[in-house]
A = this chain, B = another copy of it.
Amino acid sequence: MLTPPSYPLTHNVLRLRRLGIDTHQEAVVYMREDCDVCRSEGLDSLAQVHLTHNGRTITATLHHVTSDILAHNEAGLSDAAWVSLGARDGDPVTVRHAPPLDSFGYVRAKTFGRRLEENEFRAIVADVATQHYADVHLASFITACANHHLDRGEMASLTRAMIDAGERLDWGRSPIMDKHSIGGLPGNRTSPIVVSIVAACGLTMPKTSSRAITSPAGTADTMETLTRVDLDLPAIRRVVEQEGGCIVWGGAVRLSPADDVLIRVERILDLDAEGQLVASVLSKKAAAGATHLILDLPVGPTAKVRTRADADELAGHLLAVAASLGIEARTLMSDGTQPVGHGIGPALEARDVLAVLKNAPGAPGSLRERAISVAAAVLELGGAAPAGAGERVARAAIDDGRAWRKFKAICEAQGGLRAPPVALHTHPVLSDRAGRVTAIDSRRISRVAKLAGAPDDKAAGVDMHTALGQSVEKGQPLFTLHAESPGQIAYALGYVAAWPEIIRVESL
């Protein structure tokens, strides 16, 4: 079939204007419905368009403007698009139909149950990492890959595709230690403590963490209340060479950038499924240069991993994919029946971390013991403690203050240690009876902390005053809500009222 010489394209240039609309990372361009470009290109609202400025091209979703907030020759940008394009007011931008999103055909094939090949995952991940997928496309991809819809080979393909879509750190030596706790257990903030112990004992542990996916806090959210976490690659390298460890946000250095794009929509959907979980965790670790990895899997009825059988299956996937990437990994099953520590939310968890490291009176024993057990596994895997002796070595590093000194040194190297913020509003939730605590719903407690504003409001969350098996009096506070606004306290309380069994107190 012959295509006649290409039809002349019109010039399609508009002047950029920062309209000041924040749509998070989704790039949006605002154009008058009656502007020359929309008319000549036939661009309808919600069309995907390519914006080119100064040699850089991004994909954005078009929202038509039907009023005078824009002039005829202007294109407004959402804040995310503005930053991505490196735009300045009045700069020219060329607008074109985005080419059809061919890789989405593979997402459609996966939706219909077909196995995907590595080159197909590569095509999808490349378009995801360069933000060519709109949020509805991301939601469809995430849903299509959920549950048992990816086999192990596909998980490995997806993981490799995600690694190769970004930067990769090479530390030029081995072992490079890392650890990861599979989410779902509120307050389980062991990483800062583990890194401090392990680095104090002479191993290298450059820890990059993500922000929360479906939880009220990620390690990066928590650490951000204590020090800078958005370090670039040279800064990370400097901190690690100097202190043997770091605790930074991985998103600032384009390690597995597709993961950061997917995580945002996973959060909205509150969906973080097996295949994506494996690819997310291992692509980040491999990109960060880890050679040895401890995977902590808390198991409990309201944790992310519900049963021992589920944990074994997930561990099998993680170990197989890790091995295919050349990473020596071990899994550690732990008790996931209740929250860890007292605080749930970035600043409240940071407070607990400091208390454990400082051996402060009232420091949560549950957080201390879990951190010691993970650190012990890392020390033994890395050869810094003989088999069976890891726990003794780890405990000593906390007790004699070495871990606390190392943590302070790491924070100083990252930009200075500061005190975590404190919420403006607090509100206790009281027991309506005397009795014993027989169940704590970790999922719903996390939900309450999120409704109170965590993780976006750093000081927001839930402070627990009880644990499984404890006796409480009628009127005794079970937990306290922390929030930055009265509306959020009210919002969280509404949820608590609707789900009174979040903490079950049985009369004796």
Give A387-436 interface residues, CB cut-off 8 Å to B. 427-432
In the complex, which residue of chain B has the Cβ closest to the Cβ of A427?
B7
Chain A residues 479 to 508 lying within 8 A of chain B, measured CB to CB, are 483-491, 493-497, 500-503, 505
Q: Kindly list 9 other residue pairs between chains A and B, CB separation below 8 angstroms, not including A7-B427, A41-B491, A111-B146.
A: A1-B430, A2-B429, A8-B486, A9-B490, A18-B67, A20-B66, A21-B64, A21-B65, A137-B139
Question: Which residues of the partner chain B approach A475 to less than 8 Å between Cβ atoms?
Answer: 2
Judge whether B431 and A271 touch: CB under 8 Å. no
Q: State A46–B485 Cα separation when bound (angstroms).
A: 18
Of the stretches A168-176, A262-270, A369-377, the one at the interface is A262-270
Contact of A100 among B9, B43, B488, B495 (CB under 8 A): B495
**Complex interface: chain B residues within 8 A of A18 (CB):** 67
Nearest-CB residue, chain B, relative to A481? B7
**A4 touching B427 by the CB < 8 A rule?**
yes
Shortest C-beta distance, A506 to chain B (Å), equals 12
Tally of A interface residues using CB under 8 Å: 97
Tell which of A22-30, A252-260, A278-286, A323-331 binds the partner. Answer: A22-30
On whether the beta carbons of B97 and A4 are closer than 8 Å, the reply is no
Q: How many copies does the complex hold?
A: 2
Closest to A37 in B: B487
Q: How far is the CA of A119 from the CA of B454 in the complex (A)?
A: 32
Known contacts A1-B500, A429-B4, A430-B4; decide if A486 and B65 are in contact (CB<8 Å).
no
Chain B residues near A468: list those with CB within 8 A.
Answer: none
- Asked if B108 and A497 sit within 8 Å, CB to CB, the answer is no
Pick the residue among B9, B67, B136 that contacts A20 (CB under 8 A).
B67
Q: A7-B427, A41-B487, A270-B108 are in contact. Are A67 and B19 (CB under 8 A)?
A: yes
- For residue A337, CB closer than 8 A to chain B, the reply is no
A66→B497 CA distance, assembly (Å): 35
**A44 — which chain B residues lie within 8 A by C-beta?**
456
B486 with A10: CB separation less than 8 A: yes
| Distance (whole angstroms) from the CB of A482 to the closest CB of chain B | 12
Scan residues 57-95 of chain A and give those whose CB is less than 8 A from a CB of chain B: 63-69, 78-79
